[in-house]
Structure 1
């Protein structure tokens, strides 16, 4: 399908260095290929992606496999940067640091979307873009990274962290989830459904992922409302009274509703409902829980109300939505 100016190409770069974890690198490549294959068959933007090494030459994975690359790190612009796990000590990463940092820094400054797995987060932390922010990494390197980058809020117990445009994954399955989320963000649910059905069908995660889809509404600059959003995203499964939320954050209900809507473009109740429904969508796809159980897990004690709300907001019943990913 020929691309037009109306539908610009989405460009994704995947960093490859010696000692890269080959399984992670090639998994990213295969998922991107699947996204590209499906996006070509839909109206809208297409996808281009490349594996890039510092000099454009092949790299050797930590297990000794030679992996060919598509080009060097140059001044080309990318919409998304992916930093796979590198199975080596931080001291060795430092030898590549000047080249990689010079390439990565402009993308971080321009707030491009950056996904990092395990020790791939090293490059971001070394540039200082995670100072004062949450991040996670491969568990074996957690203590080393904490010592190297003490200003980063390292979350050892989290497998995924999100800080504005930067997403970190601690392991392979969580990185695959970030890749699925990338498909949703760039090309929508239909492309992501194909990827989930054909490539990631066996993932049954034990962590909450839905709030990552909400991050685009947390860059408005109202720090108090950002705190409320983060609170709602971490407590949505509980019984929540918005009057209590407003009071606990030092606002009247009326002022809270006005300020929240001004910052996010959405009423607080609608935002809470959307968090819950996003969580429900993920559970429907990535768990075997019953619909009644899912309803309770996302904060609705009345499963009939949950089903009606889900159908109204998503356009399908929960059962029909789940079936799309299993057929």
Structure 2
């Protein structure tokens, strides 16, 4: 039997504690219904037995504390719910040496959504890939520069360390773990019961690009604003470098350092984000939207749009536009 420890951190998101517990209990039911023994022993593990959440609105009773539990097989780190993630990490810092020791002892560790911040704080992810909620990507990169954040990915796995994308994306990681520990058949049964799309690999269609401007490089910030204010224009990186009186190669380096995107990537992302909003509302077709955001080549626009969102412009419009859905 595999021992699963679901952490109950201070300021955790309640559903990301309850959902894994319910899912693993359901998998045990499936196994027993098939004449097989239950596989998972699930416990809630805290720094103390009773942990208040949502400013005391709820309280979770842990089955044990990290000081009681000496050995486990799989640790689930739920999402942290505070807007002040640095404060949340300070409140939960006692988990860090315990997580490191458990991983050294053979335990696998999986973070759900912004639970990745707690996992990254251990140093175990240094030099490795990690996923988290796309909205917290700039803060994550600033706090953990030695971790490679792949914010469009649903699941990462490396050397017994797992992470998931934002919000309900964690269900896909849980399904992935179920399949790994049991079988494809049980994972499919679980996906059907919980009405989940199995094998979803990307959270790209859900990402809302908001250019990183929390930096001190004023000319680069002005360049970002110029790009955003001139969506319908064909803007070249050479023109931007000249406009802001910075040598091209130096401009590229400064822009990348400040925004985590090359100038060309930034232009593409800003234009695609504007195109997404136009496709979500109103009656404009794909070509009209394409021209409005400064593209004239259909093939190029569709290629860039798909690269960033994972969908074609038409598929995106069909997915999100009310007028299309109601037709």
Deviates more, 1:93-102 or 1:126-135: 93-102
Closer, same or farther in 2 for the Cα pair 1:202/1:183, shift >3 Å? Answer: closer
2:13 aligns with: 21
Structure-to-structure mapping, 1:175-214, within 5 angstroms = 175-199=170-194, 201-203=195-197, 207=201
Residue 91 of structure 1, CA deviation: 1.9
Q: Deviations over 1:252-296 (max 9, x none)?
A: xxxxxxxxxxxxxxxxxxxxxxxxxxxxxxxxxxxxxxxxxxxxx
Contact 1:62 1:87 in 2 (8 A): no
Q: 1:110 aligns with which of 83, 94, 105?
A: 105
Residue 34 of structure 1, CA deviation: 0.4
- Root-mean-square deviation (Å): 2.3
Contact 1:56 1:70 in 2 (8 A): yes
**Secondary structure, aligned partner of 2:62:** coil
1:305 aligns with: none
2:30 aligns with: 38
Alignment of 1:148 with 2:148, yes or no, is no
Q: 1:78 aligns with which of 68, 72, 87?
A: 72
1:58 aligns with: 51
Structure-to-structure mapping, 1:85-104, within 5 angstroms = 85-88=79-82, 89-104=84-99
Deviates more, 1:58-67 or 1:100-109: 58-67
Q: Deviations over 1:205-245 (max 9, x none)?
A: 65369xxxxxxxxxxxxxxxxxxxxxxxxxxxxxxxxxxxx
Aligned structure 1 segments of 4 or more residues deviating by more than 6 angstroms: none
TM-score normalised per structure 2: 0.56
User: How many residues are treated as equivalent by the alignment?
Assistant: 200
Contact 1:21 1:85 in 2 (8 A): yes
**Secondary structure, aligned partner of 1:40:** helix
Counterparts of 1:204 and 1:33, CA distance in 2: 19
Counterparts of 1:93 and 1:108, CA distance in 2: 22
Alignment of 1:125 with 2:117, yes or no, is no
Deviates more, 1:43-52 or 1:115-124: 43-52
Q: 1:138 aligns with which of 133, 142, 148?
A: 133
**Higher alpha-carbon Rg:** 2
Closer, same or farther in 2 for the Cα pair 1:107/1:141, shift >3 Å? Answer: same
1:48 aligns with: 41
Counterparts of 2:79 and 2:201, CA distance in 1: 20
Residue 62 of structure 1, CA deviation: 6.6
Residue 111 of structure 1, CA deviation: 4.1
Counterparts of 2:110 and 2:118, CA distance in 1: 11
TM-score normalised per structure 1: 0.56
Contact 1:57 1:72 in 2 (8 A): no
Contact 1:83 1:116 in 2 (8 A): yes
Residue 123 of structure 1, CA deviation: 2.3
**Secondary structure, aligned partner of 2:57:** coil
